[in-house]
A = this chain, B = another copy of it.
Amino acid sequence: MLVRRPADGHVTKDLFRVEKAPIAAPAPGEVLLRIEYFSADPYLIRQLNGLGNYVPKLSPGAPMFSRTLGTVVRSKDPAWKSGDKALAVADWGEYCVVDARKLVRLDPVIAPLPSFLSVMGHSGLTAWGGLLDIGRPKAGETVLVTSAGGPVGQASGQMAKIKGCRVVGVAGGQAKCRTLVEELGFDACVDYRSADFEKQLAAAVPNGIDLHCESIGAPMLDPALLCMNRHARIVLFGIIANYDNTPFVLKNANRLLDCSVTLRAFSVSEYLSRWSEFQAEMGGWVRAGKVKSRDTIHEGLDRAAEAMVALTTGEGIGKQIIRVEAAGTAMKQAGADLPCQEQ
């Protein structure tokens, strides 16, 4: 649960606490889900700061919630049976009762289960809608991807490669940059922690930026503006640097005018109706090895706070995923304190 809102917008581990709570029984139309994985998502930072209007806000004293992957263990809905794998928005914990109409059925044959929280999940859908539908990369263009090590950035960059672009990532740390170039096929990756970051960025895009995928906010967008080509497009996937209400400050805003830039902000909700189409296309790329994902798994429910902090410090690569039952341990009291199944 969320203990309190951050006083200064800053996410720290002591904002969160694990509590024991009784497991509820599903009412008609509901299922009880055993949660295997859930993700720490950037938009949660806005929610726990009491901001944002396209997602419900989090309240101190109430459970954290986000997208989760789990197995149905009790069903009071004819469409679902025990053992079914589902994606749901649910409270963080070992079990959760969920409205069956809000479950998304998963086929773990398509891709490994945790990937439905990253490349095959809403992060992948965000990248798919933002890069392909809004960004519309054309072969030969230069695409810059910030937060390239994040799940949206990884997928965006690899799809831009599929479309024939030169793809340059921006990520934190040499190790992450190496992974993106050597394992995920980025043409180059610039470490924003480098002292001469702006110089390295300019050198990495000798033909300028045609399409810019921004997930961080002003600190990354500002230097990139200096490298934009005329009629460059910016897809604003997110501005995590500003989710704690830090002002959005551009020194190079005049470049928007100089380059006749188009900026389009969006949220994944615009693409939810195209989930099946996305699953088919991304699933094909994932199975063909054309889009890979590298995620960070935090082992155990009590590491969720650490995953939230990692969101803001840039530690770890890919989606910050919490595996509820830490690897090598038995699920605590698995099944033992479940409510009786009503027959």
Q: Taking beta carbons and an 8 Å cutoff, which residues of A are in contact with B?
A: 46, 51-54, 217-218, 236, 238-239, 242-243, 245, 247-251, 253-254, 256-267, 270
On whether the beta carbons of B262 and A264 are closer than 8 Å, the reply is: yes
Instruction: Knowing A247-B251, A250-B247 are in contact, say whether A257-B239 is a contact too (CB < 8 A).
Output: yes
Contact (A260, B267) CB under 8 Å given A248-B249, A249-B247? yes
In the bound complex, CA of A267 to CA of B256 (Å): 10
A25 to B185, CA, bound (A): 63
Pick the most buried of A217, A248, A259, A262: most chain B CB atoms within 10 A of its CB.
Answer: A248
Determine if A254 and B266 form an interchain contact, defined as CB atoms under 8 angstroms apart: no
This protein's copies in its complex: 2
- A162–B260 Cα gap in the complex (Å)? 26
- The answer to whether B263 and A267 touch across the interface, beta carbons within 8 angstroms, is no
Complexed CA–CA distance, A248 and B217 (Å): 13
Query: What is the bound-complex CA distance between A264 and B264, given in angstroms?
Result: 8
Q: When A247-B250, A248-B250 are in contact, do A260 and B265 touch as well, CB less than 8 Å? A: yes
Residue from B217, B243, B257, B265 within 8 A of A266 (CB atoms): B257
A257 and B265: CB pair below 8 A?
Answer: yes
Are B256 and A236 in contact, CB atoms less than 8 angstroms apart? yes
Q: Is the CB of A262 within 8 A of B260?
A: no
